[in-house]
Amino acid sequence: MSTFGIQQPIVELPDQDPERDFSDEELVWTEEEQEQIEAWEEQYADEQGAIMKVLWLAQEKFGYLPPEVIKLCGETLDMSFSQTYGVATFYHQYFKEEKGSYVLDVCTCFTCQVCGGYDILHYLEEKLDVHAGETTDDGMFTVQEAECLGSCGSAPMMEITNGVYVHQLTPEKIDDLIESLRAGEVPEFTSVTLPQDEDEMDGNRRTDVENTTTYETQPRAEHME
Ligand code: FES
């Protein structure tokens, strides 16, 4: 059967003008942001290459990317809504709806799964009284299931709001983490990093590990202040 002449769109586009969360007055870039966008455009063969950075900037500015914000990003770079929407929805890290102050992405992909990723996810769900994909009533935490976050060597792990990686999770670490986040602090955890080159590995990836601390970036709650 021919695959040509498809009548239905493969992805259903959302209403671009539903009940909007942001007004026209809010949907503008500041002078500084506009300058930043122009600088990014210069880095690529054509301006559309800057779309991921512009979506990221918009997420920092508005907190998430409802249709009207996706539209603003597309129009800024002369892209159609469907093109822009395609990029925004391809990546889990772009939030298409409002999230809690902290987004807890628990990896349940292959390696984390066999190392207890689902146990960790279910522990967190029970502790916070939410299901994956939901936000706590106080708006503090959104719990999500994530695909591989590229840190399989320290499974099971989670990422906090597109920034901090927390490795080798245990229920005790979850308890500490939630308590600290409620107090507005992102704790440092000891994690294991694999050596970066063949010589260092010396043929054995598991015995040459060294202890490092997780790197930290600001949680979203601070970006938004
Ligand atoms: S499977 Fe979890 S980080 Fe790769």
Site to substitute for ligand 1 among 92, 105, 106, 109, most atoms within 8 A of C-beta: 109
In 117-178, the DSSP E strands lie at 141-146, 158-160, 164-166
Residues shown for the chain: 225
Mean pLDDT of 127-154: 94
Spatial contact of 214 and 164, defined as CB atoms under 8 Å apart: yes
**Residue 2: pLDDT band by 50, 70, 90 thresholds?**
very low
- Could you report the per-residue pLDDT of 170-199, keeping only the tens digit for each? 999 999 999 999 998 876 655 555 445 555
Element (H, E) at 103: strand 102-107
| Cα(222) to centroid(ligand 1), Å | 27
The Cα–Cα gap between 142 and 133 comes to 7
**Residue 18: pLDDT band by 50, 70, 90 thresholds?**
low
Structure tokens at 66: 């409802």
Mean pLDDT of the chain: 82
Of the candidates 202, 213, 129, the one whose C-alpha atom is nearest the C-alpha of residue 164 is 213
3-state secondary structure 180-218: HHHCCCCCCCEEEECCCCHHHHCCCCCCCCEEEECCCCC
pLDDT of residue 20: 83
Q: What percent of the chain has pLDDT over 70?
A: 76
| Cα(118) to centroid(ligand 1), Å | 12
Structure tokens at 144: 């999500």
Q: Which atom of ligand 1 is nearest to the CA of 148?
A: 4
Terminal-residue alpha carbon distance, the chain = 55
| Cα(94) to centroid(ligand 1), Å | 19
Q: Which atom of ligand 1 is nearest to the CA of 113?
A: 1
Domains of the chain, first to last: 12-98 (1.10.10.1590), 102-223 (3.40.30.10)
Q: What percent of the chain has pLDDT over 90?
A: 61
Mean pLDDT of 97-107: 94
Ordered strands of the 164-166 beta sheet: 141-146, 102-107, 158-160, 164-166
Asked whether residue 213 carries a pLDDT value surpassing 90, the answer given is no
